[in-house]
Chains A and B, each alone.
Chain A
């Protein structure tokens, strides 16, 4: 036990003496939350839409007014000229083009079918889908309010519509930041546990200091505990710091219990540190370790559902996620913070993380040789 304390003291001294460490520990949470939460947003506001009104009727003007009133769109007008429209989309001056055909009003009044043409730049498929949804919302609103209520058109002529009124649970305002913040915290804690642990261990090999350690009576378990515990502590500190930033600056609601969150985080840190140790088993230099981690890190983070819904991933990807600890932790952090889930609500994730952690850690410790 005394030996572990001696190693711990040495580790903390070295960590805080490292010129890069203090900025990493204290500024990284701020930078990541402030930049990523704002930048990595899927919210759609003020996208350019070009409306070509061929009809020039009362109805078409009403419809355009509806678009103007929407916070999602900024309307440009354009005379009908196909090549000009194509140009605008090409130059990215507009995201979408709505063409109101001639006889728009006349056809509605006579009950004939009306087709509006909508062109959307779909390079970013996600926002194209959103634009489509918003346009349809405006159109159905237009039909209901403008045509049925303000004019005397026989409702029977109009397509019957069912109004769906949604309530968004756990994130009432559909605040994207509240969705992203726990995700950013997951990245933060993953970086601390995987990167720092493995770089720290490889450094001993690279500098040759492990050679001197190896001729001392230090046991493998003493050495490894001394190496891992500091990053457990730093990881918990980072979570607390990141969470405080979220609550103070983004009004992140915290529905769950702090204890639950810490229990889960400790288990996840254990798994992450295990992964870090495993990589350090195979890497001889910090550079090798860095590239290896980066390769895996990108994959496990992007597959974890941080930006995209895991349920909409192909089956094979969902199967891969069964062994992705980040996937579990992402669900856990979001559920605990936003929904207030308890350990028994997240029993599957709890068990999966424990199994993953113990498996990786056992293998990494078994594979670990103190030799160079």
Chain B
């Protein structure tokens, strides 16, 4: 059985279906990204997995254990880093780490090798109160505390939200290193570009898993051609392109506009000419490969049409 195995999981808060028939399977030592916008149900799913929340129905097995009945055993195997910084702000870096090592019946020394690469960044500040750390350092401390008891499964809820770009990249590198210890990782993020760093991705939307597979599989399933339009005048171009006949989705992605059509009878020249006709002369149009975000937007558009 897979390390994380979830079938037909449901959880509602009153009328709101937070989890709607969720299925998820992560192999041992797998690295799964849970991608979805705010309110998609990522945190709810993680809290069910970590035994903090009881689901309404569904099968769930984490490390071969049932989080509802065997939560005591499960907690020893699990490392969890909540989305909100949940360490003691009035305790120092070292005191936090020692506390969490202590309650798991271990010590910093015993598992230091596991966190060495992460903790060494913040060790110079080990006497500083956790509340006085910067966002990136808080993240590293939280990760150290979640790892100090040598968990087999690591659950991270939006670990990089609100962290600067450099720290984010560092953080993902650290997650890669953690995998080398045979730890299974489930990480959620609202950033699509982080998804490609995982070896398995599930797109969560409105409590449903709408796509899953390797990042490659997901983009390969995307059949339409994507035209990227590079222009300085993004607002005007968006307006013009959205008026184009047959345009399925027109969205800005940073410096570019991605355009997808309902049928395949479009070419780079045709779009360039159309833009010139509408007084946008600097546009460079090219065909690109789909990213995860394109797939996601495509799904949402299909959903809205139904």
Q: Are B86 and A6 in contact (CB under 8 A)?
A: no
- Chain B contact residues, majority secondary structure: loop
Q: Which of A10, A17, A215, A218 has the most CB of B within 10 A?
A: A215
Least CB separation from B75: chain A residue: A217
Q: Are B90 and A217 in contact (CB under 8 A)?
A: no
Q: Are A14 and B75 in contact (CB under 8 A)?
A: no
A214 to chain B, nearest CB (A): 6
A217 to chain B, nearest CB (A): 5
Least CB separation from B78: chain A residue: A215
B138 to chain A, nearest CB (A): 13
Q: Are A17 and B102 in contact (CB under 8 A)?
A: no
Complex contacts, A2 vs chain B, CB 8 Å: 102, 105
Q: Are A7 and B103 in contact (CB under 8 A)?
A: yes
Is A3 close to B, CB under 8 A? yes
Q: Are A13 and B103 in contact (CB under 8 A)?
A: no
Complex Cα gap A18–B129 (Å): 12
A112 to chain B, nearest CB (A): 81
Q: Are B76 and A212 in contact (CB under 8 A)?
A: no
Q: Are B90 and A208 in contact (CB under 8 A)?
A: no
A132 to chain B, nearest CB (A): 58
Q: Are A215 and B105 in contact (CB under 8 A)?
A: no
Contacts between chains A and B (CB distance < 8 A), count: 62
Is A211 close to B, CB under 8 A? yes
Is A165 close to B, CB under 8 A? no
Complex contacts, B78 vs chain A, CB 8 Å: 215
- Chain A contact residues, majority secondary structure: helix
Q: Are A212 and B80 in contact (CB under 8 A)?
A: yes
Give the contacting residue for B75; candidates A7, A207, A215, A371; CB below 8 A.
A215
Complex contacts, A6 vs chain B, CB 8 Å: 99, 102-103
Q: With A13-B91, A14-B91, A17-B90 as given contacts, are A371 and B84 in contact (CB-CB < 8 Å)?
A: no
Complex contacts, B89 vs chain A, CB 8 Å: 207
Complex contacts, A211 vs chain B, CB 8 Å: 52, 82, 84, 86
Q: Are B84 and A3 in contact (CB under 8 A)?
A: no
User: A14-B90, A212-B80 are known contacts; what are 12 more A-B pairs with Cβ within 8 Å?
Assistant: A6-B103, A10-B99, A208-B82, A208-B85, A211-B52, A211-B84, A216-B100, A216-B104, A217-B72, A217-B76, A217-B103, A217-B104
Interface residues of B (CB under 8 A from A): 50-53, 72, 75-76, 78, 80, 82, 84-91, 95, 99-100, 102-105, 145
